[in-house]
Amino acid sequence: MPSTRTSAETAARQAAAPILSARELCVDFKLEQGWVRAVDGVSFDVRRGEVLGIVGESGSGKSQILMAAMGLTAANGRCSGSVTFEGEEVLNATPDRLDRIRGSSMSMIFQDPMTSLNPYMRVVDQLTEVLVAHQGKSRAEAVNIAVEMLERVRIPDARRRISLYPHEFSGGMRQRVMIAMALLCRPALLFADEPTTALDVTVQAQILDLLNGLVHELNAAVVIVTHDLGVIARLCDRVIVLYGGRIMEEAAIGDLFTTPHHPYTQGLLAATPRLDDDTAHDLRTIPGTPRALAGQISGCPFAPRCERRMERCTVETPTLRRTTNGKRAAACHLVTA
Ligand SMILES: Nc1ncnc2c1ncn2[C@@H]1O[C@H](COP(=O)(O)OP(=O)(O)OP(=O)(O)O)[C@@H](O)[C@H]1O
Ligand code: SF4
Ligand SMILES: [Mg+2]
């Protein structure tokens, strides 16, 4: 269930400067018929020790937000707005600078372990590469650190298994190897894109708990992308609900689950019979069809599926408005304070 932190911890975190800030981030892709917008004016902050969830249906732009922040947008894409990491702009950073940030301070867990694991290289070589290249460790030191990290992600017999190739690990174990790899450089900021989707429920829970523990130990900031509200409930402090590339709602985890303000969030939660039921929390069960990728359209992107749609909703785009205490925000004409 929703992770709990003391109010003192939360207050201290809110006072700290964000490690990552996105402002009016847009990601566009060039297709044969012209440019289309996948991420549309997204702004958020993340601080050390905080786990931010980004939730939304397939195609809502979740991965592209992470890719933009990592400087990994595809060649046919372009980003605008701003993403700063420790105050430094990432969107126009040189490839060298990005490489250094990615090797030492920022890392990513991809949905498919084979995206970041090379099938032709032994795990030991892949894990030690970053430590030798970016941190100047000797090979022997790097192997010891890598074995220790594999043990921490609970890979049994890690000293022997580190010499295996990725295909010699089971799916769950490969995922753990990738998590170990992402945490090896002790990143200040970790992006996780559907890190457990491919795993069965028990392994998923174990890995999320593991991630949670390691992240708090490192006092890292985490942005985790998922379509799974169960994952959000287990891990996150704060959540952004994305629809059609735009933020529909942002709230602390407890507020989102107890009093969702936006009709889309309400729909998601209604489509999720019980959050503690590990078999029934897939957002893809919400009725209707997700919005097609489109350029800037007028009106609320959720209007075609919204049961509470009013006349103005199809002509006037609702802005993301903060509540008076600044703690949450929603983009809906019905939400006024
Ligand atoms: N290189 C590309 N060229 C054109 N369109 C792209 C490209 N990469 C992504 N898109 C489009 O951008 C939109 C957002 O994609 P994104 O991968 O961020 O979705 P997502 O929310 O992560 O979905 P999923 O849950 O399926 O992973 C999608 O419509 C996708 O098809
Ligand atoms: S702005 Fe209108 S269409 Fe959009 S979510 Fe609110 S009520 Fe529904
Ligand atoms: Mg994705």
Q: Please report the DSSP string for 143-193 in residue order.
A: HHHHHHHHHHTT-TTHHHHTTS-GGGS-HHHHHHHHHHHHHTT--SEEEEE
263 lines ligand 2 (CB under 6 A): yes
Angle between helices 201-218 and 171-183 (to 10 degrees): 10
Q: Of 112, 109, 91, 256, whose CA–CA distance to 198 is shortest?
A: 112
Residue-level pLDDT at 115: 78
Cα–Cα distance between 152 and 88 in angstroms, integer?
32
Give the largest Cα separation in the chain, rounded: 67
Where do you find CATH 3.40.50.300 in the chain?
7-105+186-287
In the reported structure, the alpha carbon of residue 43 is separated from the centroid of ligand 1 by a whole-number distance in angstroms of 18
Which residue of 261, 313, 316, 319 sits with most ligand 2 atoms within 8 Å of its CB, as the best mutation to test the pocket? Answer: 313
Q: How far is the CA of 301 from the centre of ligand 1 (A)?
A: 17
pLDDT along the chain (337 residues), means of 10: 57 76 96 91 95 92 95 94 95 88 86 83 94 90 95 91 95 88 90 82 80 85 90 91 95 95 92 52 50 65 92 94 89 89
CA of 336, nearest ligand number? 2
Structure tokens at 250: 């942002």
Q: What is the CA radius of gyration of the chain?
A: 20
Beta bridge partners of 221: 189
Candidate from 297, 310, 314, 319 with most ligand 2 atoms within 8 A of CB, to mutate: 310
**CA-264 nearest atom, ligand 2:** 5
Contact 250, 53 (CB under 8 A): no
Q: Is 335 exposed, middle or buried (0-12, 13-18, 19+ CB in 10 A)?
A: middle
CA within 13 Å, CB half, 241: 29
Instruction: Indicate whether residue 38 lines ligand 1 (CB < 6 A).
Output: yes
Q: How far is the CA of 225 from the centre of ligand 1 (A)?
A: 13
**For ligand 2, what atom is nearest to the CA of residue 335?**
6
Other C-beta atoms closer than 10 Å to the C-beta of 139 total: 12
**Cα 156 to ligand 3 centre (Å):** 30
Q: Chain centroid to CA 212: how far?
A: 14
Quick check: CB of 291 below 6 Å from ligand 1? no
CB 151 within 8 A of CB 214: no
**Residue 336, pLDDT score:** 82
**73: Cβ below 6 Å to ligand 1?**
no
Ligand 1 site, residue 92, Cβ cutoff 6 A: no
Minimum CA distance residue for ligand 1 atom 19 = 59
- Which structure tokens are listed for 314? 């199809």
- CA-closest candidate to residue 52, choices 220, 264, 186: 220
CATH top class, domain 7-105+186-287 = alpha beta
Spatial distance between the Cα atoms of 222 and 104, rounded to a whole number of angstroms: 15
Find out whether the beta carbon of 332 lies less than 6 Å from any atom of ligand 2. Answer: yes
Tell me whether residue 88 is exposed, middle or buried, using C-beta atoms within 10 angstroms of its C-beta: 0 to 12, 13 to 18, 19 or more. exposed
Atom 6, ligand 2: residue with shortest CA distance: 332
Q: What is the pLDDT of residue 252?
A: 96
Can you name the residues that pair with 192 across neighbouring β-strands? Answer: 109, 224
Tokens of 55: 């939730």
